[in-house]
Amino acid sequence: MDVLTPDTFMAINIFLLFFFVSTFAWGQTQRSDAFIDMMSWQQEGSVKINNIRSNFIVTNRALCAGGSMGLETATYRSFVDGCFLYGQGNVGAEKNTVTYDQSDISVYGLKASVGSGFFVSSKKAEIGFKIPLMIVSQTYTKPNQASLTEPSPVLLMGSLYGRWPFEKWFFQTEFSKIVGNDFVMFSLGAGYKF
Amino acid sequence: MKMIIILSTFLFSTFSWGYAQFIGHGYTSCVNCHFNPFGNGQLTDYGRAVSATAISSNAFYPKSWSEEKISETSGFLFRKPKQKWVRTQLNYRGFSLVTNPGSQSREEKEWINMQMDARLALKFGQNDKFIFAADYGKVPLPAQLDPGESDQKYRSRNLYIGYRYNSSVGVYAGLMDKVYGLRVIEHIAFSRTNPQITQNDQVYGVAGHFLKGDWEGGVHGFIGNYYQDPAYRMKGGSAMVEKTVFNLHRVGASFLNSRNDFVQLTSYAVHGRFNLKEGSALLAELGQTQKKPQDNTPSTTARYGLLQTYLRPARGFYAFANIEYLKNDIDQSDYTVRWGPGLQYFPIHRLELRADIYDTRNFIKNSSMKDSWMYLLQTHLWL
């Protein structure tokens, strides 16, 4: 289920470029905020034990704390954001003839995005697109006499996000397709606007 | 192929129900638009007008038509009713369901006629003090029936009489949905399956409704659904209360206790509906359901959560997400998160087109598996 094709990725880039230009073209206000997100994503690696190769799935969950800076007009907002993430992941082999399971292996890393969106209500409820880049570090157990291909530590994504403000506070959600595979990341968080 | 499936559903038209997220348009109480004061079921004249002028797009109406003209066409016969006491409605809801899309071995596709029914409301007395509401229609049967579940293909989901003593107090008796929690349209939501308030969980009973100032509430006593075998009918009671806060939002709590010969369910939840203006809204519910088998085997308590997000970029067009959480047993560490982004479009009154994606992810100790996926492409026709 790979909907983030090169064409889709290009469309997202054009969309972001439009909103970036729109934000800079009209009178804008500088804004910054801080947030914390609960996030989850999956990755895939492979392991070969006793000459049987199997893919394995890593399901991660983490907290990501950080902030964003950007410019906004009455209608649009363009921004960059970043956060530091820390969490845990569980591992399971896809083939039941291979035993390769782990629980709560630590993961930490950084996530940075560029994005643009527009306000859809007088309360500044917001919808838009982001391009996140995530770099993670996670150590997998390597069984004796086995070969292991770990998942990539770099993840590039295309995201749809939403934001619902309550005065200075806000809720936000993000749903991301990881480029190059069928996996997705989703996150739910809250923040404060300065 | 995926685009063909998406486009084919847009050939059909859909009808509009009231939805809890319409608090985003300033409607804190369901009684504004529905005969049933707790929501769901047939729309009143006012509800039809709101659907035509606030919810649905006006892009396909003649430019010369005013909102008042559009409102006048919202009646059953595309005109303002000429009498006050009979209201009718015809509904069709169907969708294309694709599970595990893209999988050569596991992908399944089917078209489901989810709902085909006719509705009738009779109103009498000053300010419509007395009402009779009923519907009857065809319902889809699941692939596998649960024990005691009816195999009737035609049934009623609403059959009740109501009396509004005044604008603040009303009493309703008959077959209705249980009074509990957020009455969201997604009947597969964990917040509906756990307390057993899904599309066929209506019960015969008596419900009281109260609305005064910032407060609204209801109580409901019931004796089960007579489409089920007697041993499986859930009997009990429920209550719900809500308060308007900051003149915009609603926060509330619910309680439900019911039992049959096999299990006792006790559910309790808190919820909120938040108005972000111009159609944008947030709905949230967090609850638990204790399931106590009647054979003295140990009980389990499940915890569920629901967050529905709505953004309205343009009139008639909504982008939303259903974000759900379920822990089947709070004494275990495993849990499930289901994330369902979607688009909802009302191109014209009586027509709803909706596309949902559901991504279900299980968090299991010492294990990990790929997410399971579901596409839903829904159409609604309403007369």
Span of B70-84, B141-155, B162-176 with lowest mean pLDDT: B141-155
Residue at A173 is within a domain: yes
Please name the amino acid found at residue A179.
V
**pLDDT tens-digit readout, B13-67:** 233 345 777 788 888 888 888 899 998 888 889 988 888 888 899 889 888 989 8
Question: Tokens standing for B147?
Answer: 């024990």
pLDDT reported for residue A97: 83
DSSP letter for each residue of B33-52: TBSSTTS-S-B-HHHHHHII
Q: How far apart are CA B241 and CA B175, in angstroms?
A: 21
Residue at A109 is within a domain: yes
In this structure, how many other beta carbons lie within 10 angstroms of the beta carbon of residue B170?
A: 20
Averaged pLDDT for residues A163-185? 92
**pLDDT tens-digit readout, A24-38:** 655 678 889 999 999
Q: How far apart are CA B273 and CA B360, in angstroms?
A: 24
Averaged pLDDT for residues A122-137? 92
Question: In this complex, do A166 and B309 lie within 8 Å of one another by their Cβ atoms?
Answer: no
Give the pLDDT band (50/70/90) at residue B11.
Answer: very low
Find the closest chain A residue to B281 by CA distance: A164
Kindly list the residues from chain B whose CB atom is less than 8 angstroms away from the CB atom of residue A175.
321, 339, 341
User: Whose CA is closest to B266, among B370, B200, B203, B196?
Assistant: B196
Give the mutation candidate from B309, B360, B368, B373 for the A interface (greatest A CB count, under 10 A).
Answer: B368
**What is the average pLDDT value for chain A, to the nearest integer?**
88
Contact, A131 vs A13, CB < 8 A? Answer: yes
Q: How far apart are CA B173 and CA A188, in angstroms?
A: 41
pLDDT reported for residue A26: 59
Q: How far apart are CA B16 and CA B13, in angstroms?
A: 10
Contact, A45 vs A71, CB < 8 A? Answer: no
Instruction: Specify the length of chain B in residues.
Output: 383
**pLDDT tens-digit readout, B170-201:** 999 999 999 999 998 888 899 999 999 998 89
Question: In this complex, do B311 and A182 lie within 8 Å of one another by their Cβ atoms?
Answer: no
pLDDT reported for residue A44: 94
Instruction: Specify the length of chain A in residues.
Output: 194
pLDDT reported for residue B13: 29
User: Whose CA is closest to B257, among B275, B287, B237, B283?
Assistant: B237
B4 dihedral zone (left: phi>0; alpha: psi -120 to 50; beta): alpha
The residue with greater pLDDT, B150 or B16, is B150
Pick the CATH number of B2-382 from 3.40.50.300, 2.40.160.10, 4.10.520.10, 3.20.20.60: 2.40.160.10
Which is it for the CA torsion B152, B100, A178, B3, positive or negative?
negative
Find the closest chain B residue to A43 by CA distance: B370
pLDDT reported for residue B98: 87
Please name the amino acid found at residue B231.
A
For chain B, give every domain's residue range. 2-382
pLDDT reported for residue B185: 85
pLDDT reported for residue B143: 66
Q: How far apart are CA B72 and CA B82, in angstroms?
A: 11
**Strand blocks (E) in chain A:** 29-49, 52-72, 76-93, 102-119, 126-138, 146-149, 154-166, 169-178, 184-193
* Cα dist from B371 to A60, A91, A133, A185, B374, whole Å: 12, 13, 22, 11, 10
How distant is the Cα of A91 from the closest Cα of chain B, in angstroms? Answer: 5
Residue at A1 is within a domain: no
Question: In this complex, do B101 and A118 lie within 8 Å of one another by their Cβ atoms?
Answer: no
Q: How far apart are CA B61 and CA B55, in angstroms?
A: 14
**What is the average pLDDT value for chain B, to the nearest integer?**
88
* Cα dist from B295 to B260, B300, B350, whole Å: 12, 13, 49
Averaged pLDDT for residues B296-306? 94
Averaged pLDDT for residues A76-96? 93
Q: How many CA atoms lie within 13 A of B292 on its CB side?
A: 10
Number of domains in chain A: 1
Question: Tokens standing for A1?
Answer: 């289920």
pLDDT reported for residue B152: 73
Percent of chain A with pLDDT over 70: 87
Q: A68 burial class (0-12, 13-18, 19+ CB within 10 angstroms)? A: buried
Question: Tokens standing for B198?
Answer: 């899904």
Averaged pLDDT for residues A63-70? 96
Backbone angles phi, psi at A7, to 5 degrees: -65, -45
Indicate the DSSP class of residue A140.
-
Residue A87 clears pLDDT 90, i.e. is over it? yes
For residue A142, the domain's CATH number is 2.40.160
Kindly list the residues from chain A whose CB atom is less than 8 angstroms away from the CB atom of residue B245.
none
Question: In this complex, do A92 and B367 lie within 8 Å of one another by their Cβ atoms?
Answer: yes
End-to-end CA distance of chain A: 39
pLDDT reported for residue B105: 75
Whether B337 has its CB under 8 Å from any CB of chain A: the answer is yes
Contact, A178 vs A157, CB < 8 A? Answer: yes
Strand partners, B253: B241, B270
**pLDDT tens-digit readout, B312-347:** 888 999 999 999 999 999 999 999 999 999 999 999
B26 dihedral zone (left: phi>0; alpha: psi -120 to 50; beta): left
The residue with greater pLDDT, A6 or A53, is A53
Give the pLDDT band (50/70/90) at residue B7.
Answer: very low
Whether B311 has its CB under 8 Å from any CB of chain A: the answer is yes
Span of A65-79, A91-105, B21-35, B152-166 with lowest mean pLDDT: B21-35
pLDDT reported for residue B326: 98
Kindly list the residues from chain A whose CB atom is less than 8 angstroms away from the CB atom of residue B368.
42, 56-59, 89-92, 101
Listed in sequence order, the DSSP H helices in chain A are: 6-25
Kindly list the residues from chain B whose CB atom is less than 8 angstroms away from the CB atom of residue A89.
368
The pTM score is 0.88
**Residue carrying the six token digits 């649009």:** A76
Averaged pLDDT for residues A157-179? 93
Give the pLDDT band (50/70/90) at residue B75.
Answer: confident
Kindly calculate the radius of gyration of chain A based on its CA atoms and give it in whole angstroms: 19
With b for 16 or more beta-carbon neighbours within 10 A and e for fewer, the B112-145 pattern comes to eebbbbebbbebeeeebeebbbbbebebeeeeee
Kindly list the residues from chain A whose CB atom is less than 8 angstroms away from the CB atom of residue B279.
120-121
pLDDT reported for residue A22: 64
Q: How far apart are CA A143 and CA A116, in angstroms?
A: 45
Kindly list the residues from chain B whose CB atom is less than 8 angstroms away from the CB atom of residue A123.
276-278, 280
pLDDT reported for residue B382: 86
Question: In this complex, do B368 and A126 lie within 8 Å of one another by their Cβ atoms?
Answer: no
Whether B307 has its CB under 8 Å from any CB of chain A: the answer is yes
pLDDT reported for residue B19: 72
Residue A190 clears pLDDT 70, i.e. is over it? yes
Averaged pLDDT for residues A47-71? 93
Whether B325 has its CB under 8 Å from any CB of chain A: the answer is no
Contact, B351 vs B381, CB < 8 A? Answer: yes
ipTM value for the complex: 0.87
Residue A102 clears pLDDT 80, i.e. is over it? yes
Give the pLDDT band (50/70/90) at residue B77.
Answer: confident
Q: How far apart are CA A79 and CA A81, in angstroms?
A: 7
Q: How far apart are CA B136 and CA B120, in angstroms?
A: 9
The residue with greater pLDDT, B218 or A75, is B218
Percent of chain B with pLDDT over 90: 56
Q: How far apart are CA B13 and CA A162, in angstroms?
A: 28
Residue B160 clears pLDDT 60, i.e. is over it? yes
Domain span at A156 = 6-193
pLDDT reported for residue B104: 74
How distant is the Cα of B246 from the closest Cα of chain A, in angstroms? Answer: 11
